[in-house]
Structure 1
Amino acid sequence: MQLVICLVGTLLTLGLQGEARTPSRYHEDDYHPRSRPNIVMRGEDKDYWMQDAQDALTRQLGIRLREKQAKNVVFFLGDGMSLSTVTAARILKGSKTGKFERESLSWEEFDFAALSKTYNTEDIVTDSAASATAYLSGVKTNQAIIGLDATAIYENCSTQNDISTHTSSIAEWFLEAGRSAGLVTTTRVTHATPAGVYAHVADRKWEDDAHMLDDYVDPETCDDIAEQLVYGEPGRHLKVVLGGGRRSFRPKEEPDVEDGSAGYREDGRNLINAWLEEKEKMGASAAYAWNKEDLMAIDLQNTDYVMGLFDHSHMDTVLTRNVSMDPTLPEMTKFAIEMLSKDPNGYFLLVEGGRIDLMHHGNEVRQALYETLDFEEAVSMALSLTDPEETIILVTADHGHTLDINGYAERNEDIFGYAGISNVDYKRYTTLSYGNGPGFQLVPDGRYEPTEEDLNDKYFSYPSGIPKESSTHDGTDVGIWAHGPFAHLFTSVYEENYIPHALAYAACVGHGRTFCDKK
C-alpha cells in the first residue's frame, strides 16, 4: 500500500512539474501544435481571406508586359539574403508597421519573381566570388575565383594573366555600348561581389599586394584587385564607386584618416591619389570622399567620376554606424543613380547589401535583418528615382545562409523571441536559429537557453546546431524579383548565370541575343 501511494505521489509530482515548465499548447503530438481555440486574428474570417485572394487575383490579371528596350539596369544584390532572411525581415518590418506577417518588402510588390540555382562549377554551396562571376558575366566558375572561367586554376598567377580565361561583366557590356556603369556596396569595394564588376583574379583574397605576398605570389607579375579598379579595364571607367576598404588603397606607412589603422599596401603607393591622377590624365573631373559630408558636398553636375571609401575595411552596420560620418546604403544609392543618370544613353548600377552576409556568418541575426531592411530602403529609393518604362530593377542574392525559422511561434510575436519549449529538455528555443556557426553553446545541463538579455543584444550570436567559428553559406535556391522592361523574363527557376543574359537582352548590350536584334 505504501508503495502504491509513493508511486502515485511521484507521478503527480512529475505531472505537476511538467505542467509548470511546459505550457498546455506543447502537450501535443511531436510534429504539430494543437490549434488554439477561439482566436480570429483581426477579423481574419473566411470572408477576409476570400477577398484577400480575389484582390491578389485582380492585381495579377492587371499585369502587363513591358516589351521595350531598357535604358538602365539597377541590379540589387543582397549578399547571403536567403529566402528565410527575406521572410524574417518582412516580419521585422511588419512589427514596426503593425502589419507583422501581412507586411511586404518593396521588391515583393514587383510583378515578376523567380528562383536562382547558385551552385558553382566545383561546389554545391557557392562563395560570393564564383557567384558574382555567374550573375554578372553569365559564366559559372570555380570557388573563390572572380572574372575567370572554370579553366582557371586557384591562386595561379599565370592563369589570371591568360586572357582566354577572362570573362566580361554586364557592366563592361554597358561601357562597350557607350553607356555608364558604377557600383555601391557596404563592404570593401575590392570585396568579392563588387570586384565581380571589374576584376579578373585567381583568388578573391588578392585585394591588395600584401595579400598576394601572403600567398607567395609576386605582385609585380599579377595585378591585385585594387590595382585593377584604378588602372584596369573596365575598372577605371566606372563613373561611381562607393563603399568601404581604404586599407587596400593606402601604403602601410600611412595611418587611416579615421581610425589611424595602417594601410595594407606593401608597394608604398597610394592608389586613391593614383585614381585621381588617372582621371586627370583622361581629361575628366573627379572627386574623392571619405565621409558623408564630403560625399554630399560633391557637385554632381560638374563631376565626371566619384570614388567614396567610407571605412578602413567594411562599412559599419546599421546598428553600429556613426550617422553623421557614414552615408547609408539608400543615400549612396540615390547619389549613384543621380550621378549615372547624367548619361543620356543609360547606365548599369550594382548595389550590394553586403553586410547581410557578414552578420549571418557571425549568427548575428538581429544585425543581419536590420541590414536587410536598410537594403530594402535602398530598393525603395531606386524605385522613387527611376521610371519603370525605361529602367529594369532586379533584386536577388548570391547564395543563402543556414538561417531557420522554427515552429511554432504565434502570430504578431517578436521575430527575435522564443518559438516554444522543447518537449525533450524543457528549455525555450528561439524562433530564429542557424544550422551552424559560433552561436553553438553547451552548458553542464545540455543546451544553452538564451536569456531575454541575450536576445536584445545586437551582437548576440543566435543558437546554431553545429559549432563553427564562422557559419557557412547554404545551397538552397534564392529569389529573383524583377520590375520594368522585360521583367517577365524572370518567371521560372534558372541557373544563376542566366541573369545577366536576360538583362542584356532587355538593355540591348553584350554579345548574345538582344531585343534590338528584332528591330
Structure 2
Amino acid sequence: MIRASSFLAGVCALALAPAFAHAADTSPAQAADPYYKSGQAALARAMAVSPKTGRAKNVILFLGDGMGISTAVAGRIWQGQQKGVDGESNALSFEKLPFTALSKTYSHDTQVTDSAAGITAITTGVKTRNKVIGLTGEAKPESCASEASTRVTTIAEIAKAHGLSAGAVTNTRITHATPAGTFAHTAYRDWEGDADMPAGALSGGCKDIARQLVEAPAGLRLDVALGGGRSRFLPETKGGKRADGRDLTVEWTKTKGAAYVADAEQLKAIDPARTGPVLGLFAGEHLPYEVERAQSGQGVPSLSDMATKAVDILSKNPKGYFLLVEGGKIDMGSHLNNARRTLTETAAFSDAIQAVLDKVDLNETLVIVTADHSHGLVISGYAARNAPILGLAGNEGEPVVAGDGKAYTVLSFATGPGGPEGQTLRADPAKEDLEEVDYHQQSVAHLPSAAHAGEDVGVYADGPGAYLVRGVVEESYLFQVMRHAFGFDAAK
C-alpha cells in the first residue's frame, strides 16, 4: 500500500518540477536589485583573493585603542555622512582588507582588559594582568620585585634581534600603555616618568617607561618613536616633570645619527636616508583630538603624517621592520562619553591606515588592524536610513520616546560621565544641542571615566600570512601570526 505522505510528496515534486527545470539557465527575480548586484561583486572580489603564504619582510600593526565593533560601525557611518555618501554602506579603509577574525580580549585576571594587558597579549603572545606591561601573568601589579623573573620579549625586540628595524607611532604619550607595549617591561603602566613612581619602586631598581625607551641597548632600541609625552623626558627646569633632572631627549641624540624633533616641520624635514633613530615628542602630554588639532594643535603632525614618515625611515633597512601605529584617542573619546571625538578619531585612524597602505607593497608587508579592547558604545534603533549618527533615535522619522517620556540618542554608553549622578533625572536629549563638540552621550551608570567593554573585537589583515587571521581567536594569537609571517618561528 502506498502511504499518503509518499503519494503527496510525489505529486508536489511533479508539480514543482517545471518551475525549476530551467533554474540553471535563468536568473532569480531579484537579479536586478542593487543589493543583489553588490553581493555578486563582493563574491567576485572574494574569489579573486589569493592567500599570500610567503614570508613578510615588514609587519605593521595598527591598533585602534578601544575600537570595538560598534565603534567601527558608527565610525563608518560618520565618515560616510561627512563625505556626503551613504554612511551605512560606507567602508573604512581597513574594512576592505580581505581577511578578518574576532579577537577574545579578556586578560589573565579580568573579563575586561585594560590597554596594558591587551597590548602585552598582542606583542608578546602572553596574557597578563591589567596594569602590567611586558611581563607574564605571574607578575604582581606595582611590585618591583616581580619584574625580573616575569619579563617576556616583544615582537619589536625580536625583530630588532634579527637585524630588522622597529618603531612605534601614537597620538597619545609615547610612554602610554599601548606604545610602551613595544619596548617596556613594567609592573605598573602609570610609571611613565620617575615622578610617577613611588620611592619604593625607585629604590627597588625599577625604571620608568621613558628611561626604558632611551636606555634600551642599541641592538633593541626603537628606531622610530613618535607621539606625545614630552614631559616624561624633560626635567622640571625645562618645563617637564622629571624629578631626576635628566633631559632624556639630549641623551637620545648621543647615538650617532640620532635625532629629536618637537614639531611637524622638524619631522617633515627629517631625511629618512640619513637620519635615525628618531624620537619625536610633539606635546607635553597626549596630542590634541583631531576635532581641535587645527586650533590647539598648531605644529602637531597628524597620525597620518607620523605613520607615513615612520614607514619612510624604517624602510631604509633592507632586512625589513616592525611598526606599531596606535589611534589612541579613539579610546579617550569614549572614556568621556563624547561620541563625536570617538568617531572623528576613528575616521582619522582609518585615514592613517589608507595613507600607509598607499605606500607599502602588500606582497611583502603584513598589515594587521585590530583593537586591544572594546568600549560600552551602543547603536540603538530605529533611526531612519541616513539619519545623523550623532542624532536622536527615531521610528519612521519621528523621535522614539522612552518610558520616561524623553527621547534618546542613536549612540549611548553603558557607563561614564554622561550618566545621571545620585537622584538626578535623565535629561531630555531632544532639548539639547547634539551637534555640540563637547556633548556627552548619555550612559546608564555614572562613572568619572567610562569603563571598557569585554566583547570580542575585529581583526582585519592583508599581506603575507594574513590568511591566518580567521575565525575567533585569542588576542595573544596575533603575536604568533606576526612571528610566523616574519619567519622567526622557523629560525634556529
TM-score scaled by structure 1?
0.85
Q: Deviations over 1:144-164 (max 9, x none)?
A: 00011011111111112x2x3
The equivalent of 1:50 in structure 2 is 36
Report if the CA contact (8 A) 1:209-1:267 is conserved.
yes
Say if 1:442 and 1:174 are closer, same or farther in 2 by CA, change over 3 A: closer
Report if the CA contact (8 A) 1:228-1:235 is conserved.
no
The equivalent of 2:450 in structure 1 is 471
Unaligned runs of 5+ in 2: 1-29, 395-399
Q: Which amino acid aligns with 2:178?
A: T
Whole-angstrom CA distance in 2 between matches of 1:445 and 1:384: 50
Matched, 1:454 2:428: no
Whole-angstrom CA distance in 2 between matches of 1:82 and 1:386: 26
Match of 1:90 among 63, 76, 92: 76
The equivalent of 1:130 in structure 2 is 117
* Displacement of 1:503: 1.1
* Displacement of 1:325: 0.7
The equivalent of 1:273 in structure 2 is 250
Match of 1:221 among 195, 198, 205: 205
Match of 1:311 among 283, 295, 298: 283
The equivalent of 1:19 in structure 2 is none
Say if 1:246 and 1:478 are closer, same or farther in 2 by CA, change over 3 A: same
Whole-angstrom CA distance in 1 between matches of 2:424 and 2:339: 25
Report if the CA contact (8 A) 2:252-2:260 is conserved.
no
* Displacement of 1:274: 1.3
The equivalent of 1:207 in structure 2 is 192
Alignment of 1:11-410 (within 5 A): 47-97=33-83, 98-160=85-147, 162=148, 164-213=149-198, 216-218=200-202, 221-233=205-217, 237-255=221-239, 263-277=240-254, 279=255, 284-322=256-294, 324-410=298-384
Q: Deviations over 1:458-488 (max 9, x none)?
A: 1121100001000000000000000111110
Say if 1:233 and 1:357 are closer, same or farther in 2 by CA, change over 3 A: farther
Q: Deviations over 1:401-432 (max 9, x none)?
A: 00000111110111000003224122111000
Q: Deviations over 1:102-154 (max 9, x none)?
A: 11011111110001000011000000001111000111111100011011111
* Displacement of 1:489: 0.3
SS at match of 1:502: helix
The equivalent of 2:476 in structure 1 is 497
SS at match of 1:93: helix
Report if the CA contact (8 A) 1:388-1:484 is conserved.
yes
Q: Deviations over 1:214-270 (max 9, x none)?
A: x74325621111110000257962111100001111112322xxxxxxx21111111
SS at match of 1:320: helix
Whole-angstrom CA distance in 2 between matches of 1:176 and 1:87: 39
Whole-angstrom CA distance in 2 between matches of 1:119 and 1:483: 25
* Displacement of 1:46: 6.7
Whole-angstrom CA distance in 1 between matches of 2:380 and 2:39: 26
Say if 1:463 and 1:287 are closer, same or farther in 2 by CA, change over 3 A: same
SS at match of 1:321: helix
Whole-angstrom CA distance in 1 between matches of 2:431 and 2:57: 50
Whole-angstrom CA distance in 1 between matches of 2:377 and 2:385: 19
Say if 1:123 and 1:138 are closer, same or farther in 2 by CA, change over 3 A: same
Q: Which moved more, 1:115-124 or 1:323-332?
A: 323-332
Whole-angstrom CA distance in 1 between matches of 2:204 and 2:280: 27
Runs of 4+ in 1 over 4 A off after TM superposition: 233-236, 442-445
* Displacement of 1:446: 3.2
* Displacement of 1:442: 6.5
Q: Which amino acid aligns with 2:441?
A: Y
* Displacement of 1:299: 2.0
* Displacement of 1:93: 1.1
Unaligned runs of 5+ in 1: 1-43, 256-262
Q: Which amino acid aligns with 2:390?
A: F
Percent of paired sites with the same residue: 43
* Displacement of 1:443: 10
Whole-angstrom CA distance in 1 between matches of 2:483 and 2:274: 30
Q: Which amino acid aligns with 1:148?
A: L
Q: Deviations over 1:290-309 (max 9, x none)?
A: 11111111222211211100
Q: Deviations over 1:330-387 (max 9, x none)?
A: 0101100000010111000000000111111011110011011110011001110001
* Displacement of 1:45: 9.6
* Displacement of 1:391: 0.3
Q: Which amino acid aligns with 1:186?
A: N
Q: Which amino acid aligns with 1:231?
A: E
The equivalent of 1:21 in structure 2 is none
RMSD of aligned alpha carbons: 1.9
Q: Which amino acid aligns with 1:166?
A: R
TM-score scaled by structure 2?
0.89
The equivalent of 2:27 in structure 1 is none
The equivalent of 2:485 in structure 1 is 506
SS at match of 1:102: coil
Say if 1:442 and 1:198 are closer, same or farther in 2 by CA, change over 3 A: closer
Report if the CA contact (8 A) 1:394-1:480 is conserved.
yes
The equivalent of 1:482 in structure 2 is 461
Q: Which amino acid aligns with 1:105?
A: L
SS at match of 1:315: coil
Q: Which amino acid aligns with 1:480?
A: V
Say if 1:433 and 1:234 are closer, same or farther in 2 by CA, change over 3 A: farther
Report if the CA contact (8 A) 1:199-1:235 is conserved.
no
Report if the CA contact (8 A) 2:31-2:37 is conserved.
no
Whole-angstrom CA distance in 2 between matches of 1:224 and 1:369: 32
